[in-house]
Amino acid sequence: MVRSKPRVIVGMSGGVDSSATAALLLEQGYDVVGITLKLWPQDCVSRAEDKCCGPQAVTDARAVCHKLGIPYYLIDEADEFQTKVIRYFADEYKAGRTPNPCVMCNQNLKFGRLIDRADQLGAEFIATGHFARLEKSADGSRMLLKRGRDSRKDQSYFLFSLRQDQLARALFPLGEKTKSDTREVARHCNLKTADKEESMEICFVPDNNYGGFLQQANLVQKHQGDIVDLHGNIVGRHEGIEFYTIGQRKGLGISSPKPLYVVELEPDTNRVIVGDELALERDEFTVDRCNWIAFANPPVEFEATVKIRYNHPGTPATVTPLPGGSAAVKLHSPQRAITPGQAAVFYKDDVVIGGGWITR
């Protein structure tokens, strides 16, 4: 095949999406190089054997690149991952917030360190298997991030923090595809990952037991405190606020004539506050560390659809940017379990306007 397009680095996770991404770009004439970032700390290997940070993923990614006839590199970024993702993950729980490590991994590793590697290899672009789309603004001054065409697999939420310089070098070949399309691409190329099961869990917490991971990795130690109701009455005891999240009902270890949920976490007092379902509803909150994609400087106020977590359907809101990179969000109708530490991402139709991190 005659290469008529620039070199592109494909982040290979060992799954079907990144495999199809490499195959599509090769078919389009790009000079494709596959790279897997070795992210796991040594004590994570046994727990993540078949995940995107595990050794089986490396074996699968290498096999795909061999089948496609493209170069493949495995690059150790475990120290960076430990600092920028796992340490952040633990610190957020300690601060009474619920982290979103996938956003941080995209920002710092997949579109941070991977771009550095692209520069070393003379590559103009990097590509991933995210279901999202990119296009230039009407005046050509900005890159716009859009939802993936397949609404069930759209991953634009996880990419809201990318800067313009990162978006300008990104390619998302699956943006117009469905999940079944990607499997067909992989089958057509006889790739071993075509029917590989996808993981919906955080890669370094494969059993979804966040508290267990924090303890096993010696990032958090148990420390008892009070579980109190909205009036300050002690109704139970806990072993650390790190093991709870807003909206949690199960595992509280308390009895009550009506269901109780975690409505607030107080790191300063080491208290878990519980209340009924109505206490979970809010119509106002603030976000900080905002990243604006659709414009360089946000307007005084704008209307948007906001997603308060990845699997949230989105709800209308009025957004008022504030000094210091924060913004006030007024929802048109109250929403349940607005969780500090999670990302709030603003949309106008399919376009990601920007987003920020929900504050306590």
Catalytic residue status for 52: no
Which of 53, 105, 189, 290 is catalytic? The answer is 105
Query: Does residue 282 contact residue 273 with C-beta atoms inside 8 Å?
Result: no
> Of 103, 89, 130, whose CA–CA distance to 357 is shortest?
103
End-to-end CA distance of the chain: 54
d(CA 355, CA 155) in angstroms, rounded, equals 14
Catalytic residue status for 189: no
> Of 106, 44, 103, 35, whose CA–CA distance to 75 is shortest?
35
Which secondary-structure segment (H or E) carries 105? helix 101-105
Distances 221 to 132, 144, 267, 296 between C-alpha atoms, Å: 39, 43, 14, 43
> Of 274, 287, 266, 278, whose CA–CA distance to 330 is shortest?
287
> Of 345, 337, 17, 295, whose CA–CA distance to 144 is shortest?
295
Distances 292 to 115, 125, 223 between C-alpha atoms, Å: 21, 22, 39
Q: Compute the chain's Rg from CA coordinates.
A: 22
d(CA 349, CA 228) in angstroms, rounded, equals 41
Which of 44, 52, 203, 290 is catalytic? The answer is 203
d(CA 26, CA 16) in angstroms, rounded, equals 15
For 224-311, where are the E strands, in sequence order? 225-228, 234-238, 261-266, 271-275, 281-292, 302-307
Token pair 């001054």: residue: 141
Beta strand 302-307 pairing with 343-348: antiparallel
For residue 216, with 0-12 CB atoms within 10 Å meaning exposed, 13-18 middle and 19 or more buried, which class applies?
A: middle
Q: Tokens for 216, please give them.
A: 């096993």
Point out the residues that are catalytic.
105, 203
